Chains A and B, each alone.
Chain A
């Protein structure tokens, strides 16, 4: 007996939906095993990790606060990956957006008006998009692989932020701590609830719904699908690969930049060297788990947000390293890719004899 993959005549729509569920299940099982291997009670740990964050209003709020940037970045990346454009530097574009949007509170601190906030949001998106244009330009002009350039730019953006908050934009009254002056008044997003919930989640949901509509009902959405799945057919249809690269980087960079600005004008409230717990990379997982579909991304974003809060939970309650969050996130992407094989292939047991016959048979 031998297990082989047999190509399905048609991609399985059912498996497309079941695959993330299977992947989550496998992640939970593996997670339990890891907890057990570390000598922690697996069931308690899993409960603390996945369920406990949803049992109090405080932690639900935290989950929603974390889901905001994940969804916003994730929907942009979903469109990118759908078009086979590999922007993996969203973390850098996030940082660039935060920096660009912070121009207003840092340099024009006295300009207090609703328009200041609007301008900040605009500049944030612009900063992210402009930063994403670097790999787009290098790709379309010189044919440089966008994966490597967009990733290298993450390190560059983080070092730039580090320099800005220690140097030119350092808070003059901040006792030399590496941070900018705190944003005030109209330079902060409207907050509600216990003071952590902010406008960001609404922006994310709107972005996801708009992109869902664009992908399903517009020519642009069709173009993304065609160029991504059948580039040759796209070329014959007159869709330009070059323009698609620019579009994808503008969109995903802009959304990542917007998320960055929202993060610093929301929960963080100032510029500092660490403004993101790896949102830009986790959003890659969000995009895949959400089936590269904007609505799916909303659910995936919520789940990965839980993984952040749950990770903090087990750290506090059981004294397990908060690195478990990254492990769970990595496993999730790993298993989802694994289960996605079942969309295009089915598993089939064949007896060794018949497989030998198949080899002997020239047809």
Chain B
């Protein structure tokens, strides 16, 4: 494998969990809900995915368990913010804190145990093509799922009735309600979708990226995914570009550390976080981009008048 192939491969591996978590949150935010609990849902997905895969020996059952763990955690968020109209910022934080604690508790018996790695796709002949074979036809299945999800979300949001309803609910929930759409139900569904993709993102970490359970292994990726959604100005295609850009920054740091150039490793480890702040500044300076696309009802609770 040539070095450029290796670098591209690792960039895709680093980007996929970000893309998975962010594409779900994009839908959630388009429906007018701000779920800051990605980190918590993701880490729950990571630990449940690892545990299920370790116990059953099947990585796919791990992926399934992670998805359900993400959905279950997100529904807790839904229960509070949609049914009990709690503050979404505070509730998201609660989900993150609870998720980090609960995952640590569940995972305390799994630290240091060997994991099950989700096997890469291998298509006869195609995967062996020079240069592009491994890159295009030999990734792990979740990479393809993340791409299909991104394209699917872009299509559904822009071209279908369902997408129109989601956007209507996110832009003005009172009007959407007056038109007869069930605002709370739509939002519940979107929140669950966000939970599922965050769970998948967690599974990616504990079943592909480093097939083992390490406490707090999400390392702020959930928050970076949140920043990516803002950075993308809520557009799926831009989100994908942003995710790969961030994966690139992440890998750049790792490679620079490996080469042992005279920069402190801590500075290189801090790169993704610094890049996140810079990206947020860049996008926020462009008021036109950031304001026009922001869902107007973002973060506001909705109580139907009775």
By a CB distance below 8 angstroms, the chain B residues around A330 are: 94, 97-102
Contact of B89 with A by CB under 8 A: yes
Interface size on B, residues (CB 8 A): 47
Contact residues of B between 65 and 93, Cβ < 8 Å to A: 76, 80, 83-87, 89-91, 93
Contact of B175 with A by CB under 8 A: no
Contact of A215 with B by CB under 8 A: no
By a CB distance below 8 angstroms, the chain B residues around A34 are: 105
Q: Nearest chain-A residue to B89 (Cβ)?
A: A86
Contact residues of B between 182 and 231, Cβ < 8 Å to A: 219-220, 223-224, 226-227, 230
Q: Mark B34-60, 1 if CB is under 8 A from A, else 0.
A: 001000000000000000000000000
Contact of B280 with A by CB under 8 A: yes
Contact of A324 with B by CB under 8 A: yes
Question: Please, how many angstroms separate the alpha-carbon atoms of A185 and B279 in the complex?
Answer: 45
By a CB distance below 8 angstroms, the chain A residues around B108 are: 321, 323
By a CB distance below 8 angstroms, the chain A residues around B264 are: 163, 167
- Contact call A326/B97, Cβ cutoff below 8 A: yes
Question: Please, how many angstroms separate the alpha-carbon atoms of A327 and B102 in the complex?
Answer: 5
- Contact call B97/A338, Cβ cutoff below 8 A: no
- Contact call A152/B85, Cβ cutoff below 8 A: no
Contact of B306 with A by CB under 8 A: yes
Q: Mark A138-159, 1 if CB is under 8 A from B, else 0.
A: 1000111101110111011001
Question: Please, how many angstroms separate the alpha-carbon atoms of A340 and B301 in the complex?
Answer: 14
- Partner among A166, A167, A334, A344 whose Cβ is within 8 Å of the Cβ of B98: A334
Contact of B160 with A by CB under 8 A: no
Contact of B287 with A by CB under 8 A: yes
Binds A, one of B119-127, B135-143, B239-247, B270-278: B270-278
Question: Please, how many angstroms separate the alpha-carbon atoms of A285 and B105 in the complex?
Answer: 19
- Partner among A5, A88, A160, A331 whose Cβ is within 8 Å of the Cβ of B93: A88
- Contact call B281/A152, Cβ cutoff below 8 A: no
Contact of B24 with A by CB under 8 A: no
Question: Please, how many angstroms separate the alpha-carbon atoms of A153 and B94 in the complex?
Answer: 20
Q: Nearest chain-A residue to B231 (Cβ)?
A: A148
- Contact call A149/B277, Cβ cutoff below 8 A: yes
How far is the CB of A66 from the nearest CB of chain B, in Å? 17
- Contact call B266/A333, Cβ cutoff below 8 A: no
Q: Nearest chain-A residue to B102 (Cβ)?
A: A327
Contact of B162 with A by CB under 8 A: no
Given contacts A144-B284, A333-B90, contact A156 B98 (CB under 8 A): no
Contact of A212 with B by CB under 8 A: no
Q: Mark A152-181, 1 if CB is under 8 A from B, else 0.
A: 110110011011001100000000000000
Q: How many pairs, one residue from A and one from B, have CB atoms within 8 Å of each other in the complex? A: 136
By a CB distance below 8 angstroms, the chain B residues around A355 are: 306
- Contact call B220/A333, Cβ cutoff below 8 A: no
How far is the CB of B197 from the nearest CB of chain A, in Å? 19
Contact of A329 with B by CB under 8 A: yes
Given contacts A281-B97, A330-B102, contact A142 B281 (CB under 8 A): yes
- Partner among A5, A138, A288, A338 whose Cβ is within 8 Å of the Cβ of B281: A138
Main secondary structure of the interface of B (DSSP, over half): helix
Contact of A337 with B by CB under 8 A: yes
- Partner among B86, B226, B270 whose Cβ is within 8 Å of the Cβ of A340: B86
Best-surrounded residue of B86, B90, B284 (most CB of chain A within 10 A)? B90
Contact of B129 with A by CB under 8 A: no
Q: Mark B89-119, 1 if CB is under 8 A from A, else 0.
A: 1110111011111101100100000000000
- Contact call B284/A143, Cβ cutoff below 8 A: yes
Q: Nearest chain-B residue to A6 (Cβ)?
A: B306
Question: Please, how many angstroms separate the alpha-carbon atoms of A325 and B105 in the complex?
Answer: 10
Contact of A345 with B by CB under 8 A: yes
How far is the CB of A329 from the nearest CB of chain B, in Å? 6
Question: Please, how many angstroms separate the alpha-carbon atoms of A152 and B230 in the complex?
Answer: 14
Contact of A126 with B by CB under 8 A: no
Q: Mark A11-36, 1 if CB is under 8 A from B, else 0.
A: 00000000000000000000000100
Q: Nearest chain-B residue to A86 (Cβ)?
A: B89
- Contact call A338/B101, Cβ cutoff below 8 A: no
- Contact call B80/A334, Cβ cutoff below 8 A: yes
- Contact call A337/B86, Cβ cutoff below 8 A: yes
Contact of A7 with B by CB under 8 A: yes
- Contact call B101/A327, Cβ cutoff below 8 A: yes
Contact of B159 with A by CB under 8 A: no
Question: Please, how many angstroms separate the alpha-carbon atoms of A345 and B225 in the complex?
Answer: 34
By a CB distance below 8 angstroms, the chain A residues around B280 are: 138, 144-145, 148-149
- Contact call A333/B274, Cβ cutoff below 8 A: no
Contact of A182 with B by CB under 8 A: no
Contact of B300 with A by CB under 8 A: no
- Contact call B276/A152, Cβ cutoff below 8 A: yes
- Contact call A358/B98, Cβ cutoff below 8 A: no
Given contacts A334-B94, A337-B87, A338-B86, contact A142 B284 (CB under 8 A): yes
By a CB distance below 8 angstroms, the chain A residues around B306 are: 4, 355, 358
By a CB distance below 8 angstroms, the chain B residues around A144 are: 277, 280-281, 284
Question: Please, how many angstroms separate the alpha-carbon atoms of A321 and B101 in the complex?
Answer: 10
Contact of A65 with B by CB under 8 A: no
A–B pairs, 9, beta carbons within 8 Å: A5-B85, A160-B270, A163-B266, A321-B104, A323-B102, A326-B102, A327-B102, A334-B80, A334-B94
Known: A138-B277, A142-B281, A160-B266. 8 other contacts (CB 8 A): A145-B280, A148-B223, A156-B273, A156-B274, A167-B264, A329-B97, A337-B91, A337-B94
Binding site for A on B (CB under 8 A): 36, 76, 80, 83-87, 89-91, 93-95, 97-102, 104-105, 108, 219-220, 223-224, 226-227, 230, 264, 266-267, 269-270, 273-274, 276-277, 280-281, 284-285, 287, 290, 303, 306
- Nearest 4 interchain pairs by C-beta: A326-B101, A330-B98, A323-B104, A321-B108
